[in-house]
């Protein structure tokens, strides 16, 4: 059996590129991350990077904001505080838990939605860091947050989750815009909608960013969150249709305050 130190050293010796997927939660990142992990050139983790044992930083499951970690100054004080994260310790935990289809895989990949707040630290800490930046129509992402709220007992039952979720997603769009400027040629950016409409084109773009990923298949069938097992498809309209008029109105009141961030990514305000 490979010892922990030997495993970490083996992965460290093999990895030439670190690929991070930065994407708001409930925005399609699980499918994309799992598809990347299918490449024979990739070391990946069974769980999100923030949930791996040994990760050195705050993670959402133990917080009051498991789905809305950018919804308030109080939440951001926890998840955007760079001093609360030890990326070198986390690197060792990730390497220890990483698996790959081949021992000479040269790309390490992980994702966790709150990492969207730490693009600069990741780019400065990890050698040859590359980033895939993705967003989704915030109304569809909001429906995902509302649908999953029963799984997260730490969310206050007195909270207007539609409003808080909208604030969270608007902040994510704002930060993602900044990440595009910050990361420059080390990143590519596209929307969930573009991914669904053109998976082959998005695979080519990712390969151009990380040439080792020459076997990336974004049209494959994958099991996601134990709820469906099918090829990628745009589920926006069916999800948005599940929002109540009151939820749409609450979200639009929030999104209107930062509509320039929605418009930057091609999204429009909706009416109930």
Instruction: Give the phi and the psi of residue 101 in degrees, each rounded to 5.
Output: -75, -25
pLDDT tens track, the chain, 272 positions: 457 999 999 999 999 999 999 999 999 999 999 999 999 999 999 999 999 999 999 999 889 999 999 999 999 999 999 999 999 999 999 999 999 999 999 999 999 999 999 999 999 999 999 999 999 999 999 999 998 766 556 666 667 999 999 999 999 999 999 999 999 999 999 999 999 999 999 999 999 999 999 999 999 888 776 556 677 899 999 999 999 999 999 999 999 999 999 999 999 999 98
Residue 91: per-residue pLDDT = 98
Return d(Cα 112, Cα 206) in angstroms, integer. 18
The model's pTM: 0.94
Return d(Cα 111, Cα 56) in angstroms, integer. 15
DSSP 26: T
Return d(Cα 211, Cα 208) in angstroms, integer. 5
Return d(Cα 48, Cα 61) in angstroms, integer. 11
Q: How many CA atoms lie within 13 A of 184 on its CB side?
A: 2
Residue 114 burial (CB < 10 Å; 0-12/13-18/19+)? buried
Residue 1: per-residue pLDDT = 47
Residue closest to 136 by CA, chosen among 25, 247, 248: 25
Structure tokens at 257: 């305050």
Locate tokens 């997927």: which residue? Answer: 21
Structure tokens at 215: 């076997």
Q: At what angle are helices 245-255 and 138-147 packed, to 10 degrees?
A: 130
């Amino acid at each position: 059996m490979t010892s922990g130190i030997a495993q970490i050293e083996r992965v460290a010796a093999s990895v030439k590129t670190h690929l991070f997927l930065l994407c708001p939660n409930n925005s399609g990142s699980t499918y994309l991350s799992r598809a990347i992990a299918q490449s024979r050139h990739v070391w990946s983790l069974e769980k999100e990077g923030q949930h791996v044992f040994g990760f050195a930083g705050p993670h959402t499951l133990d917080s009051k904001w498991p789905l809305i970690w950018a919804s308030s100054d109080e939440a951001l004080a926890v998840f955007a505080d760079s001093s609360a994260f030890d990326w070198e310790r986390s690197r060792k935990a990730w390497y220890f838990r990483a698996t790959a289809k081949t021992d000479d895989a040269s790309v390490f990949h992980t994702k966790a939605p709150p990492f969207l707040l730490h693009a600069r630290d990741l780019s400065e800490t990890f050698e040859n860091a590359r980033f895939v930046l993705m967003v989704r129509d915030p109304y569809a992402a909001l429906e995902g947050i509302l649908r999953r709220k029963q799984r997260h007992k730490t969310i206050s039952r007195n909270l207007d989750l539609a409003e808080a979720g909208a604030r969270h997603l608007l902040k994510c769009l704002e930060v993602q815009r900044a990440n595009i400027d910050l990361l420059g040629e080390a990143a590519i950016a596209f929307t969930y909608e573009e991914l669904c409409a053109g998976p082959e084109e998005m695979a080519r773009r990712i390969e151009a960013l990380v040439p080792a990923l020459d076997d990336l298949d974004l049209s494959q069938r994958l099991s996601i969150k134990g709820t469906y097992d099918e090829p990628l498809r745009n589920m926006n309209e069916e999800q948005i249709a599940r929002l109540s008029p009151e939820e749409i109105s609450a979200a639009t009141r929030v999104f209107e305050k930062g509509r320039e961030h929605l418009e930057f990514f091609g999204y429009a305000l909706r009416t109930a």
